Amino acid sequence: MLDELNPAQREVVELRRHCVAVACPGAGKTKTIATKAAMLLGEPGATVGAVTFSKDAALELRERILALSGPGAKKRLLAGTFHSLAYKQLGGGSESAPDIATDGDRTGLLIQVLSDAGLDWKVEDAIAAIEAIKTNFGQVQADTPEALLYQSYQDALERNGKIDFQDMLRLAVDGMQRGTIAPYPLTYLLVDEFQDTDPLQYQWIALHAQAGSIVTVVGDDDQSIYGFRSALGFRGMESFIRQFEAQPVVLGNNYRCHAEILGAADRIIRNNRDRIPKELVAHKGPGGEVLFQRYPDEYAEAVAAMEYLGPALREGQSTAILARTNRILDPVEAVCRSHGIKYYRASGKSILSRPEAALMCNLLELVQKTKTAGVDALLSFAGIGTQELKLIHRKGRASTDQRQKKELLEMGLSENSADRYRELMKRLAEWRSLCDRQFYSLVLEGVREWMLKHTDVDQAKRAITTTYDVLTRLNGPFSERLDFLHRDNNEPAPDALILTTMHSSKGLEWDRVWIIRAEETVVPDEKSTESEERRLFYVAVTRARAQLRISTAKKNPTSRFVLEARLE
Count of beta carbons in the 10 Å neighbourhood of residue 369: 12
| Whole-Å CA distances, 160 to 100, 154, 173 | 10, 10, 23
| Whole-Å CA distances, 325 to 384, 431, 517, 528, 558 | 35, 36, 10, 13, 17
In sequence order, what DSSP letters do the residues of 478-492 get, joined into one string? Answer: HHHHHHHHTS--BS-
Nearest CA-CA partner of 470 in 377, 557, 353 = 353
Please tell me what DSSP assigns to residue 559.
P
In sequence order, what DSSP letters do the residues of 322-370 get, joined into one string? Answer: EESSGGGGHHHHHHHHHHT--EEE-SS--GGGSHHHHHHHHHHHHHTTS
| Whole-Å CA distances, 45 to 42, 77, 84, 257 | 9, 11, 24, 40
Count of beta carbons in the 10 Å neighbourhood of residue 216: 29
Q: Is 374 annotated as a binding residue?
A: no
Q: Is 23 annotated as a binding residue?
A: yes
Rounded Cα distance, 190 and 214, in Å: 9
Q: Is 546 annotated as a binding residue?
A: no
Q: Which residues are bridge partners to 217 per DSSP?
A: 20, 191
Nearest CA-CA partner of 327 in 91, 154, 505, 500 = 500
Q: Is 493 annotated as a binding residue?
A: no
Q: Is 542 annotated as a binding residue?
A: no
Q: Which residues of 488-523 are buried (b: 16+ CB within 10 A; e: fewer)?
A: eebeeeeebbbbbbbbbbbeebbbbbbbbbbbbebb
Q: Is 26 annotated as a binding residue?
A: yes
Q: Which residues are bridge partners to 291 per DSSP?
A: 549
Q: 77 with 65: CB under 8 angstroms?
A: yes
Rounded Cα distance, 135 and 130, in Å: 9
Please tell me what DSSP assigns to residue 102.
P
Q: Is 24 annotated as a binding residue?
A: yes
Rounded Cα distance, 508 and 220, in Å: 15
Phi, psi (degrees; rounded to nearest 5) at 44: -55, 125
Strand intervals (E) in 399-526: 497-501, 510-515
Please tell me what DSSP assigns to residue 182.
P
For the chain, the helix, strand and coil percentages under 3-state DSSP, each to the nearest 5: 55, 15, 35
Tell me the three state secondary structure of residue 407. Answer: helix
Q: Is 435 annotated as a binding residue?
A: no
Q: Which residues are annotated as a binding site?
A: 23-30
Q: Which residues are annotated as a binding site for ATP?
A: 23-30
